Amino acid sequence: MEQGASTITQALISETMIAAWILVAIAFFALGILVYVAIRSRTRRVDLEKAVQAFRSLDIEAFRNLVDSGEEAFLRNNLSPKKFREIKRQRAWAAVIYAWEAGRAAAALAKIGQAAQRSTDPEIAASGVQVAENAFRLRLQTIGACLHLLTEVVLPDLRSPSLPPLVDQYERTAQTLFRLGRFSSRGQGLVRPKSA
């Protein structure tokens, strides 16, 4: 009896150790990705035109449709359960791609906002602060949205709330970016050191 209990205990300890090592490996992998992204983002320069173009290329209305809970309810009521799960997975994957691209655009915008903050023009500097703050919030929301949407891919039968905060934050960030673009296109340099 004791021998069976010790075998079970050893098996549980072994499984726990394996799970712990897997978690450690995942943590190191995630840390490696973060370091790679941080190094890569420092070496790349981002210009305002590319960021504006990237932002405009995202079809926010299509994204809003993909994450709309009313649209999901309509599909749930009018499709067979199997077909609904298939369509919901496809829609969730498409929404993940939209959210990921919005997050990439937000990272570029944060750099532009930081550069604009160093401008001698107070309007540009103030807009730079707003762009950087909005970009940071948008980036956080896109990460959360991606996790939420990936959960929908894995578990399509879950009823999911729509993601209006992400869409609203995207629109606020876009408005601030376009205002910054107007300021810098008036012939004023986007990045000029404050010391003169």
Residue 5 confidence (pLDDT): 62
Q: Which of 107, 102, 132 is nearest to 44 (CA)?
A: 107
Structure tokens at 69: 């809970």
The predicted model gives 5-12 an average pLDDT of 70
Q: Give tens-digit pLDDT for 121-158.
A: 888 788 788 888 888 888 888 888 888 888 888 887 77
The predicted model gives 12-32 an average pLDDT of 80
Structure tokens at 110: 């944060």
User: What span, in angstroms and rounded, lies between the C-alpha atoms of 35 and 10?
Assistant: 37
End-to-end CA distance of the chain: 84
**Residue 99 near residue 150, CB atoms below 8 Å:** no
Residue 100 confidence (pLDDT): 85
Q: Give tens-digit pLDDT for 162-180.
A: 665 677 777 777 776 666 6
Task: State percent of the chain over pLDDT 90.
Answer: 3
Other C-beta atoms lying within 10 Å of the C-beta of residue 76: 16
